[in-house]
Amino acid sequence: MPDWSYHVIFKPILNKLSPVASREFIHKGMNRIASLPLGFHIINFLGREESSPSLSRFIDGISFSNPVGLSGKVDPELSGTRAFTNLGFGFLEIGPVSLTRMKSLSAPAVDNDQLFIQFPEDESAGVDSVKEKLKNIKKKQPIFIRLAGSSRENQTMIDQLAEAADGFIVEDSYTDLATKKPMYLSTSDPSMVDFVKIQHYSGIVLELNEKFSNESILMVKELRERGYSNTIITSGSVTEPEDALQLLDAGANLVMLSGGYVFSGPGLTKRIKEALVSREQPAPPPQGWYAYWLFGLFIFLGGMLALLFSLTSILLPYDELFLGVNREDIWAYNERIMLFMAHDRMTLAGTMISGGIVYMNLAKHGVKKQLKWAKQAIDAAAILGFLGIFRLSALVILIGCI
């Protein structure tokens, strides 16, 4: 779902519904699209999920296509997980998960004016339900599962979910759980973390305020200044690309979007990735981009020629040869025929000129910068255009044979 449809069409409608109803409506709708035979291609066409290779990370033995993930708070029922796998996230968090499902007594509190969401703390999905739903998901990025239970319950859930999970997140527990997967300790107060007691953890998940503030940056910096060298994952406090960039610059390895994702829209992930790429040393332009630019230039020049003919002779010599009459005879017979042909050629000229300008700009500002969607746009238009010409040529030949 692109930002323009989310903010212009869906969000104003969803704001009139309860937070839970709007969440389930949008997630289940996206999930249905993702479940269609070509659903993945539809979502990819609208959202462009690909990430620049330069954004890839290898952390704690796990490969990430980019450092931006989605918090499980956004989708506690896993009603949209299948769709989220296609939205360009580097990783997904599932949960919290408990042995038995815990239904929240309160709905998320949403303040649209202050762009703030308070998620309920007592809501969790049941482990059996999570196992069943994860079986039906084609995993495209690492999945972290957040556990909500006692140490014994967490160990039981780890044993059941180990195959589906790439890592686990536990809350305020220093117990050493048996698993070969990375374990992360969730905390909202880094000053209270005892580094000695958490040596068996691969890292820390910092639970930040939903609204970005300098406090979020200071919490990450505090951990690094105290000498913590393991992985730091932040959750929340990102509503704009600049927020994520500041957290990563402060020392975070990965960032998870939560409430800010709801307000900023599905395009937030893509915009963060673009912001990260924009700070890198520009890569050399790919070979062949100039051919795409020349393709647009030739179409533009062809359109200018068509415009010239529409304003002057209208008919070309081969037109007169084919018809067996010259233009003066056609003017004398019915001037409207020539005026119609002038209009037709001028219309063609306008299409070619505008198309050529679009292709040249796509080539220079898209293909040259290795934006895959720009190359695909030109390829698709060129293929469809030439197929149209071939179809018309075949029709003319068929009529000639008859």
Q: How confident is the model at residue 90 (pLDDT cuts 50, 70, 90)?
A: very high
Mean pLDDT of 315-342: 84
Flag whether 90 is in a domain: yes
Do 29 and 107 fall into the same domain? yes
CATH number of the domain enclosing 220: 3.20.20.70
Flag whether 283 is in a domain: no
Flag whether 284 is in a domain: no
Flag whether 260 is in a domain: yes
Question: Nearest Cα to 247, choosing from 207, 277, 286, 281?
Answer: 207
What separation, in Å, do the N-terminal and C-terminal C-alpha atoms of the chain show? 50
Residue type, 234: T
Q: How confident is the model at residue 251 (pLDDT cuts 50, 70, 90)?
A: very high
pLDDT 10s digits, 167-215: 999 986 667 788 889 999 998 888 887 787 788 899 999 988 877 778 8
Flag whether 269 is in a domain: yes
Q: What is the dihedral of CA 351, 356, 361, 366, to 10 degrees?
A: 100
| Residue that is last in its domain, among 278, 300, 318 | 278
| Residue that is last in its domain, among 249, 278, 307 | 278
Average pLDDT over all residues of the chain: 83
Do 196 and 335 fall into the same domain? no
Q: 312 is in which domain, residue-wise?
A: 289-401
Flag whether 305 is in a domain: yes
Number of domains, the chain: 2
| Residue that is last in its domain, among 229, 256, 278 | 278
Do 162 and 34 fall into the same domain? yes
- Contacts of 370-373 with C-beta under 8 Å, sequence gap 24+, read 370/52, 370/283, 370/285, 370/286, 372/48, 372/50, 373/48
Question: Nearest Cα to 273, choosing from 69, 58, 4?
Answer: 69
Do 115 and 229 fall into the same domain? yes
pLDDT of residue 349: 92
Question: Nearest Cα to 165, choosing from 123, 196, 137?
Answer: 137
Do 34 and 112 fall into the same domain? yes
pLDDT of residue 151: 84
Do 115 and 155 fall into the same domain? yes
Do 181 and 316 fall into the same domain? no
Do 269 and 294 fall into the same domain? no
Do 273 and 299 fall into the same domain? no
Do 297 and 176 fall into the same domain? no
DSSP assignment of 117-163: EE--SS-BEEHHHHHHHHHT----S-EEEEE-S-HHHHHHHHHHHTT
* Residue 314, both tokens: 């209208």
Residue percentage of the chain with pLDDT more than 70: 89
Strand partners for 110: 117
pLDDT of residue 355: 92
Relative to beta strand 62-64, strand 57-59 is antiparallel
pLDDT 10s digits, 348-396: 999 999 999 999 999 998 888 877 788 888 888 888 877 877 776 676 6
Mean pLDDT of 318-325: 82
**CA–CA separation, 307 and 391 (whole Å):** 24
Relative to beta strand 57-59, strand 143-147 is unpaired
Do 392 and 311 fall into the same domain? yes
Do 261 and 334 fall into the same domain? no
**CA–CA separation, 13 and 22 (whole Å):** 9
Q: How confident is the model at residue 234 (pLDDT cuts 50, 70, 90)?
A: very high
Flag whether 303 is in a domain: yes
pLDDT 10s digits, 95-122: 899 888 877 656 666 666 656 676 767 7
Flag whether 364 is in a domain: yes
